[in-house]
Amino acid sequence: MDIVSVAQAQSAAPASLASNPVLTQILAQFQIKRQQDLLASAKEYEALTKGYIAEMEDRENAGAGVKTETDLARNFHLNAQLEVSRGTYEMLLFVDKHQDQFVDRLEKSDYPKWTAAPPSSMAQLSDKFGQDKEAESRARRYSRQRKFALEALGLIEKLGGAVRSVAVAYRQQWEIGQRPPAEYFAVEDLVYKTRIRQVQHVYLLKEAEAQLQLAAGALSSDYIRRPGYQ
Protein backbone atom coordinates (compact mmCIF):
# COMPACT_ATOMS: atom_id res chain seq x y z
CA MET A 1 0.00 0.00 0.00
CA ASP A 2 1.50 3.39 -0.99
CA ILE A 3 1.62 6.48 1.22
CA VAL A 4 -1.48 7.99 -0.38
CA SER A 5 -3.53 4.85 0.25
CA VAL A 6 -2.31 4.66 3.85
CA ALA A 7 -3.28 8.26 4.56
CA GLN A 8 -6.68 7.82 2.94
CA ALA A 9 -7.34 4.69 4.99
CA GLN A 10 -6.31 6.45 8.20
CA SER A 11 -8.60 9.40 7.50
CA ALA A 12 -11.59 7.49 6.14
CA ALA A 13 -14.77 9.30 7.07
CA PRO A 14 -18.23 8.10 8.02
CA ALA A 15 -20.66 8.28 5.09
CA SER A 16 -22.49 11.20 6.67
CA LEU A 17 -19.35 13.34 6.51
CA ALA A 18 -18.13 12.13 3.13
CA SER A 19 -21.26 13.16 1.25
CA ASN A 20 -20.56 16.86 0.67
CA PRO A 21 -21.01 17.10 -3.12
CA VAL A 22 -18.60 19.99 -3.63
CA LEU A 23 -15.85 18.26 -1.65
CA THR A 24 -16.48 14.97 -3.46
CA GLN A 25 -16.07 16.58 -6.88
CA ILE A 26 -13.05 18.64 -5.89
CA LEU A 27 -11.25 15.59 -4.52
CA ALA A 28 -12.08 13.65 -7.70
CA GLN A 29 -10.45 16.45 -9.66
CA PHE A 30 -7.43 16.40 -7.36
CA GLN A 31 -7.03 12.72 -8.20
CA ILE A 32 -6.97 13.57 -11.90
CA LYS A 33 -4.31 16.22 -11.22
CA ARG A 34 -2.21 13.73 -9.27
CA GLN A 35 -2.39 11.14 -12.05
CA GLN A 36 -1.66 13.85 -14.63
CA ASP A 37 1.56 14.75 -12.77
CA LEU A 38 2.55 11.11 -12.27
CA LEU A 39 2.10 10.44 -15.99
CA ALA A 40 4.09 13.54 -16.98
CA SER A 41 6.96 12.41 -14.76
CA ALA A 42 6.85 8.92 -16.24
CA LYS A 43 6.96 10.30 -19.78
CA GLU A 44 9.98 12.45 -18.96
CA TYR A 45 11.73 9.39 -17.52
CA GLU A 46 10.81 7.33 -20.57
CA ALA A 47 12.39 9.93 -22.87
CA LEU A 48 15.54 10.00 -20.72
CA THR A 49 15.94 6.22 -20.75
CA LYS A 50 15.34 6.07 -24.51
CA GLY A 51 18.41 8.27 -24.83
CA TYR A 52 20.41 5.74 -22.80
CA ILE A 53 19.90 3.14 -25.50
CA ALA A 54 21.18 5.36 -28.32
CA GLU A 55 24.25 6.32 -26.27
CA MET A 56 25.05 2.74 -25.31
CA GLU A 57 24.64 1.55 -28.90
CA ASP A 58 27.02 4.29 -30.07
CA ARG A 59 29.54 3.28 -27.42
CA GLU A 60 29.23 -0.37 -28.33
CA ASN A 61 29.66 0.35 -32.06
CA ALA A 62 32.70 2.49 -31.32
CA GLY A 63 34.25 -0.27 -29.21
CA ALA A 64 34.05 1.79 -26.04
CA GLY A 65 31.14 -0.11 -24.50
CA VAL A 66 29.86 -3.65 -24.18
CA LYS A 67 26.58 -5.35 -25.06
CA THR A 68 25.61 -5.81 -21.41
CA GLU A 69 25.55 -2.01 -21.00
CA THR A 70 23.21 -1.68 -23.97
CA ASP A 71 21.01 -4.44 -22.60
CA LEU A 72 20.91 -2.68 -19.22
CA ALA A 73 19.86 0.55 -20.90
CA ARG A 74 17.05 -1.32 -22.66
CA ASN A 75 15.92 -2.75 -19.30
CA PHE A 76 15.66 0.72 -17.75
CA HIS A 77 13.74 1.91 -20.80
CA LEU A 78 11.33 -1.03 -20.66
CA ASN A 79 10.63 -0.25 -17.01
CA ALA A 80 9.97 3.39 -17.92
CA GLN A 81 7.60 2.30 -20.70
CA LEU A 82 5.74 0.21 -18.13
CA GLU A 83 5.42 3.27 -15.89
CA VAL A 84 3.94 5.27 -18.78
CA SER A 85 1.55 2.46 -19.70
CA ARG A 86 0.33 2.11 -16.11
CA GLY A 87 0.12 5.88 -15.67
CA THR A 88 -1.95 6.26 -18.84
CA TYR A 89 -4.31 3.49 -17.76
CA GLU A 90 -4.79 4.93 -14.26
CA MET A 91 -5.26 8.44 -15.61
CA LEU A 92 -8.08 7.25 -17.86
CA LEU A 93 -9.68 5.40 -14.95
CA PHE A 94 -9.93 8.62 -12.93
CA VAL A 95 -11.15 10.61 -15.95
CA ASP A 96 -13.85 8.01 -16.62
CA LYS A 97 -14.81 7.90 -12.96
CA HIS A 98 -15.22 11.68 -12.89
CA GLN A 99 -17.40 11.55 -16.00
CA ASP A 100 -19.53 8.78 -14.53
CA GLN A 101 -20.09 10.73 -11.31
CA PHE A 102 -20.31 14.31 -12.55
CA VAL A 103 -21.08 14.08 -16.31
CA ASP A 104 -18.22 16.41 -17.29
CA ARG A 105 -15.26 14.65 -18.92
CA LEU A 106 -12.33 16.44 -17.32
CA GLU A 107 -9.11 15.30 -19.00
CA LYS A 108 -6.84 17.67 -17.10
CA SER A 109 -7.06 19.44 -13.78
CA ASP A 110 -5.08 21.60 -11.40
CA TYR A 111 -4.93 22.42 -7.72
CA PRO A 112 -6.78 25.63 -6.80
CA LYS A 113 -5.40 28.85 -5.47
CA TRP A 114 -7.39 29.24 -2.27
CA THR A 115 -9.04 32.62 -1.77
CA ALA A 116 -8.12 32.38 1.91
CA ALA A 117 -5.35 30.21 3.32
CA PRO A 118 -6.53 26.88 4.78
CA PRO A 119 -6.54 26.68 8.60
CA SER A 120 -3.04 25.89 9.80
CA SER A 121 -4.09 24.68 13.25
CA MET A 122 -7.08 23.35 15.10
CA ALA A 123 -7.16 26.60 17.12
CA GLN A 124 -8.39 28.37 13.99
CA LEU A 125 -11.37 26.00 13.87
CA SER A 126 -12.25 26.12 17.55
CA ASP A 127 -15.65 27.76 16.99
CA LYS A 128 -16.73 25.57 14.05
CA PHE A 129 -17.82 22.30 15.65
CA GLY A 130 -20.06 22.99 18.65
CA GLN A 131 -21.00 19.54 19.95
CA ASP A 132 -20.11 17.77 16.68
CA LYS A 133 -17.24 15.65 17.97
CA GLU A 134 -17.20 13.58 14.79
CA ALA A 135 -16.49 16.64 12.62
CA GLU A 136 -13.87 17.87 15.08
CA SER A 137 -12.12 14.49 15.04
CA ARG A 138 -12.16 14.45 11.25
CA ALA A 139 -10.65 17.95 11.06
CA ARG A 140 -7.97 16.94 13.55
CA ARG A 141 -6.96 13.99 11.34
CA TYR A 142 -6.64 16.20 8.29
CA SER A 143 -4.75 18.85 10.26
CA ARG A 144 -2.30 16.10 11.17
CA GLN A 145 -2.14 14.97 7.53
CA ARG A 146 -1.41 18.55 6.43
CA LYS A 147 1.44 18.85 8.93
CA PHE A 148 2.90 15.51 7.85
CA ALA A 149 2.69 16.38 4.14
CA LEU A 150 4.42 19.74 4.64
CA GLU A 151 7.23 18.16 6.64
CA ALA A 152 7.62 15.36 4.10
CA LEU A 153 7.69 17.76 1.16
CA GLY A 154 10.47 19.73 2.84
CA LEU A 155 12.53 16.55 3.20
CA ILE A 156 11.72 15.43 -0.34
CA GLU A 157 12.88 18.79 -1.71
CA LYS A 158 16.24 18.37 0.05
CA LEU A 159 16.51 14.77 -1.14
CA GLY A 160 15.63 15.73 -4.70
CA GLY A 161 18.31 18.41 -4.82
CA ALA A 162 20.94 16.08 -3.40
CA VAL A 163 20.08 13.24 -5.76
CA ARG A 164 20.08 15.51 -8.82
CA SER A 165 23.55 16.76 -7.83
CA VAL A 166 24.79 13.20 -7.59
CA ALA A 167 23.25 12.40 -10.98
CA VAL A 168 25.11 15.31 -12.60
CA ALA A 169 28.40 14.23 -10.99
CA TYR A 170 27.92 10.57 -11.99
CA ARG A 171 27.12 11.60 -15.55
CA GLN A 172 30.31 13.64 -15.80
CA GLN A 173 32.38 10.82 -14.28
CA TRP A 174 30.83 8.28 -16.66
CA GLU A 175 31.60 10.45 -19.69
CA ILE A 176 35.31 10.49 -18.84
CA GLY A 177 35.42 6.80 -17.99
CA GLN A 178 35.60 7.06 -14.19
CA ARG A 179 32.26 5.44 -13.47
CA PRO A 180 30.19 2.69 -15.16
CA PRO A 181 26.93 3.79 -16.80
CA ALA A 182 24.94 1.41 -14.58
CA GLU A 183 25.61 3.63 -11.56
CA TYR A 184 24.44 6.72 -13.40
CA PHE A 185 21.29 4.91 -14.58
CA ALA A 186 20.54 3.88 -10.99
CA VAL A 187 20.83 7.45 -9.68
CA GLU A 188 18.57 8.80 -12.43
CA ASP A 189 16.05 6.12 -11.44
CA LEU A 190 16.20 7.47 -7.88
CA VAL A 191 15.62 11.00 -9.23
CA TYR A 192 12.46 9.73 -10.91
CA LYS A 193 11.24 7.92 -7.80
CA THR A 194 11.84 11.02 -5.70
CA ARG A 195 9.71 13.03 -8.12
CA ILE A 196 6.92 10.46 -7.78
CA ARG A 197 7.04 10.77 -4.00
CA GLN A 198 6.81 14.54 -4.34
CA VAL A 199 3.69 14.27 -6.52
CA GLN A 200 2.04 11.90 -4.05
CA HIS A 201 2.74 14.14 -1.06
CA VAL A 202 1.53 17.28 -2.83
CA TYR A 203 -1.74 15.41 -3.35
CA LEU A 204 -1.90 14.56 0.37
CA LEU A 205 -1.33 18.21 1.22
CA LYS A 206 -4.04 19.46 -1.15
CA GLU A 207 -6.50 16.82 0.01
CA ALA A 208 -5.95 17.90 3.62
CA GLU A 209 -6.33 21.57 2.69
CA ALA A 210 -9.65 20.91 0.95
CA GLN A 211 -10.95 19.04 3.97
CA LEU A 212 -9.86 21.84 6.30
CA GLN A 213 -11.44 24.45 4.04
CA LEU A 214 -14.68 22.50 4.31
CA ALA A 215 -14.38 22.45 8.09
CA ALA A 216 -13.85 26.23 8.05
CA GLY A 217 -16.90 26.77 5.85
CA ALA A 218 -14.69 28.14 3.05
CA LEU A 219 -15.07 25.42 0.40
CA SER A 220 -17.34 26.48 -2.46
CA SER A 221 -18.25 25.30 -5.95
CA ASP A 222 -16.07 28.12 -7.33
CA TYR A 223 -13.15 25.72 -6.93
CA ILE A 224 -14.64 23.08 -9.21
CA ARG A 225 -12.93 22.79 -12.61
CA ARG A 226 -14.93 22.56 -15.83
CA PRO A 227 -13.73 21.15 -19.17
CA GLY A 228 -11.74 23.72 -21.11
CA TYR A 229 -10.84 25.81 -18.05
CA GLN A 230 -7.88 28.18 -18.40
pLDDT in tens, 107-154: 999 999 999 999 999 999 988 888 889 999 999 999 999 999 999 999
Fold assignment, 19-104+133-223: Outer membrane efflux proteins (OEP) (1.20.1600)
| Residue-range domain boundaries for the chain | 19-104+133-223
Percent of the chain at pLDDT > 70 equals 91
**75-89 per-position pLDDT tens digit:** 999 999 999 999 999
pTM as predicted: 0.88
At residue 22's C-alpha, the angle toward residues 17 and 26, to 5°, is 105
What three-state secondary structure class fits 168? helix
Give CA–CA dist 118/104, Å, rounded: 27
Q: Once rounded to an integer, what is the mean pLDDT over residues 58-82? A: 90
Q: Which residue has the higher pLDDT, 80 or 5?
A: 80
At 171, the amino acid letter reads R
